Amino acid sequence: MPLSALVTAGQAHESRSFAAVMESVRRPRGVRWPGKVAGDKGYSYPSVARWLADREIVSVIPQRSDQIKRQGRAPLDRRAYRKRGVIERCVGWLKENRHFATRYDKLAVNFLGFVTLAFIRRYLRLLHPSDTP
């Protein structure tokens, strides 16, 4: 289930908005940060690693090839990394709708509104699975 969404400029790298997306997830009182966070090589940057380390979260992000050449290969929890497929399936589900795959909206707020509606629809299907088409 998607927990949060953030719209950025098309040319903005996704690693720059990592902290903003993570902090936009509203956790219930008393619920801690997750123990591990998985991501693809696009999140293999010192700023992301620092943000995770400050919150005592284990990073399950593979190194980019230029990092391996400079620093050597770091171990990767492959079992935890496989669970990243859940995120990819969620993004794929969202892109099934042509509106999201192409983004016809001129304003980011309108696009985010459609994403929010898609999230709500998905939550309602979870609550009432018999109502699905």
Q: What is the pLDDT along the chain (133 residues), one digit of tens a residue?
A: 778 888 887 788 888 888 998 988 888 888 888 899 888 888 888 899 999 999 999 999 988 888 777 777 778 888 988 888 888 888 888 878 766 666 677 788 888 888 888 888 888 888 887 755 5
For residue 4, being part of any structural domain is answered with no
For residue 126, being part of any structural domain is answered with yes
For residue 2, being part of any structural domain is answered with no
For residue 37, being part of any structural domain is answered with yes
Q: Give, in degrees to the nearest 5, the angle at Cα 72 between 71 and 73.
A: 125
For residue 8, being part of any structural domain is answered with no
For residue 57, being part of any structural domain is answered with yes
Identify whether the C-beta of residue 97 lies closer than 8 Å to the C-beta of residue 118. Answer: yes
Alpha carbon of residue 31 to chain centroid:
19
The CA distance from 111 to 57, in Å, is: 31
For residue 3, being part of any structural domain is answered with no
For residue 107, being part of any structural domain is answered with yes
Can you give the residue range of the structural domain that contains 126?
14-131
Identify whether the C-beta of residue 21 lies closer than 8 Å to the C-beta of residue 37. Answer: no
User: Which residues, 6 or more positions from 37, have their beta carbon under 8 angstroms from its beta carbon?
Assistant: 22, 52, 57, 58, 59, 60, 61
Single-letter code of the amino acid located at 39 = G
User: Can you tell me which residue has the tokens 């936009």?
Assistant: 24
The reported pLDDT for the residue numbered 54 is 95
pTM of the predicted model as reported, rounded to 2 decimal places: 0.72
Structural domains in the chain (count): 1
Q: Which residues pair with 38 in a beta bridge?
A: 60
